[in-house]
Amino acid sequence: MKKEIEVKVCCGTNCYIMGGSELHLIKEHLTEEIAQLISLKGENCSGNCHDFSRTQKPPLAWINGEMIENASIEKLKKEIVARSHK
């Protein structure tokens, strides 16, 4: 049995207006087999979007704890599909 893939999407204002709102629809862009492996959660702003010493570009998402900056549906999809084969 394949392992669950935890996907967290930032719901903070910076990430939301930079495209994060569409990331919540990621399951619609995956095959049914892969979508059922996904545990999708919203996260509050972690502060990474406005910490200029780290300069993470919003929108931010996390896949199994690994931060994805400048996240897009295509970027998340690629990362999720790669992890679904492990």
Binding site for ligand FES (CB under 6 A): 10, 12-15, 45-46, 48-49, 58, 60
- Residue nearest ligand FES (C-beta atom): 12
Integer CA distances (angstroms), 58 to 5, 35, 45, 54, 85, in order:
21, 24, 10, 12, 27
Nearer to ligand FES, 38 or 58 (CB): 58
- Nearer CB in complex with ligand FES: 15/38: 15
Query: At closest approach, how far in Å is the CB of 30 from ligand FES?
Result: 22
Q: State the DSSP code for 54.
A: T
Residue 5: HSE in the Cβ half-sphere, 13 Å Cα cutoff: 26
